[in-house]
Amino acid sequence: MQYGLIGEKLGHSFSKIIHEKLANYTYDLHPLSKQELSSFLEKKEFRAINVTIPYKIDVIPYLYEIDQRAKAVGSVNTIVNREGNLYGYNTDFGGFLYLLKHNNIDVKNKKVIVLGKGGASKAIIAVLNYLQAKQIITVYYKQSNDAITYEQCQKLHSDADVIINTTPVGMYPHLDGCPIDLQHYTKCTAVVDIIYNPIKTKLVLEAQKRNIIAVGGLEMLIAQAKYAVEIFLNTSIPEYKIDDIYKEMLFEKKNVVLIGMPSSGKTTIAAQIAKLLHKDFVDIDAEIVSKIGMSISDYFKQYGENAFREIETEVIKEFSGKNNIVISTGGGCIKKPENMLYLYMNGVILLIQRDLKKLVVGEGRPLSSSVNALEKMYQERLPLYMRYSQKTIENNTTIEYAVKQTYHAYMELMK
């Protein structure tokens, strides 16, 4: 390996894609156990590497020299091998500084809560001090000399202005994770979660629901990678490349999610949109049928709607955590808020709207077995469809027209 990333679990890392957009080299993901770390660093069989959880502090004893910033921070995420000597740097500092400035998050004279006390939190605290935060509170799952507990934080610091998550809580595949309950922090004006997979964690979505400025960690990841490449290759890369790659990554990683009434055309449109965007196609109802081993109408008859909705949520959660797919949902997925939370994490939500008289009645559709049942369902669901969708596409003429409008709606939202 010449260039790459070391850490404990790297299966869902975006770093390879980002580095290979920034530089003309192959970037390898090299997971290591704690037992393997020492041997790897002693052999020095690499040109330059990045370091991620949980080794940003553990690598320090193996380094010949550490630059001033990394020394001040107390953690290293970038190592360069120069003639057999290992030099350590920290580009998380620059990455986080970029994230705050690019999103106009001002921490000067503010009370800031930092969740977690690993290597990433050290760089973030250094940035907060550099930007003159008034008070920085480190929160950890157990009390220590340099951190308080979550319970103490809620009791003593509910007036915090900014909350920053540096823990892995909420990272894929654990989408339900949320490290802190924002309802107790009524003065909070900004939330940063340095997790980038999913693109929007539950914490970020909960903050946005409360009209709090909230950003995930993808921009920080790209920015720190840009600064690392500059060190790796002793070169200079224009700052605008960070935003260019961020937009590219969003386009490549975001899911297109179609919601709407049964028989509104979601599945047909989704399959064609997937081809246009070079994304994989997923039909949630088809995945459910595969999972339960029978038709949905038969499952309804045997087990009822509540049991079906539980299965539906399991399947939605599974596919919401994936990237670069087009998802056709079942008509009733909007009935459970957690379904939409999962779908929003990596998705753009589009409503396929079709005139009621053009929707199909019966044909194995357990909740739209008659015109009256369909009309009632439509009135119940329409407010939910409108609440959750980011754009509406009318499917009342041709499928070709609806596909074109869906494509343009997605492209507009990705600008």
* Strand partners of residue 238: none
Instruction: Supply the pLDDT for residue 12.
Output: 86
Q: Taking Cα atoms as reference points, which of 335, 44, 340 lies closest to residue 205? A: 340
Give residue-wise pLDDT tens across range 177-211.
Answer: 999 999 999 999 999 999 999 999 999 999 999 99
CA 79 to CA 46: how far, in whole Å? 10
Calculate mean pLDDT across residues 258-274: 97
Q: Which one from 34, 43, 44, 56 is the annotated catalytic residue?
A: 56
Q: Per-residue pLDDT for 316 more than 90? A: yes
Parts of the chain belonging to CATH 3.40.50.300: 254-414
Parts of the chain belonging to CATH 3.40.50.10860: 3-89
Q: Per-residue pLDDT for 366 more than 70? A: no
Q: Per-residue pLDDT for 21 more than 80? A: yes
**CATH for the stretch 94-215:** 3.40.50.720
DSSP 254: P
Q: Considering only residues 5 and 367, tell me which one the structure prediction assigns the higher pLDDT.
A: 5
CA 89 to CA 49: how far, in whole Å? 11
pTM for this predicted structure: 0.93
CATH superfamily label, 3-89 = Leucine Dehydrogenase, chain A, domain 1 (3.40.50.10860)
Task: Give the whole-number percent of the chain exceeding pLDDT 90.
Answer: 94
* DSSP class per residue in 56-121: TTTTGGG-SEE-HHHHHHT---EEEEETTEEEEE--HHHHHHHHHHHTT---BT-EEEEE--SHHH
Give residue-wise pLDDT tens across range 113-172.
Answer: 999 998 889 999 999 999 999 999 999 999 899 999 999 999 999 999 999 999 999 999
CA 120 to CA 57: how far, in whole Å? 10
16 counts as catalytic:
no
Listed range (96-110, 152-166, 367-381) with the worst mean pLDDT: 367-381
Instruction: Supply the pLDDT for residue 364.
Output: 58
* 357 token code pair: 């008289």
The pair phi, psi for residue 235, each rounded to 5°, is: -135, 180
**Per CATH, domain 254-414 is 2.20.25.90:** no
Q: How far is CA 99 from the centre of its chain?
A: 15
Q: Per-residue pLDDT for 340 more than 90? A: yes
The pair phi, psi for residue 360, each rounded to 5°, is: -85, 135
Q: Largest alpha-carbon pair distance within the chain?
A: 78
Parts of the chain belonging to CATH 3.40.50.720: 94-215
Instruction: Supply the pLDDT for residue 57.
Output: 94
Q: Per-residue pLDDT for 367 more than 90? A: no
Quick one: 149 exposed, middle or buried, by C-beta within 10 A (0-12, 13-18, 19+)? middle
Give residue-wise pLDDT tens across range 51-61.
Answer: 998 999 999 99
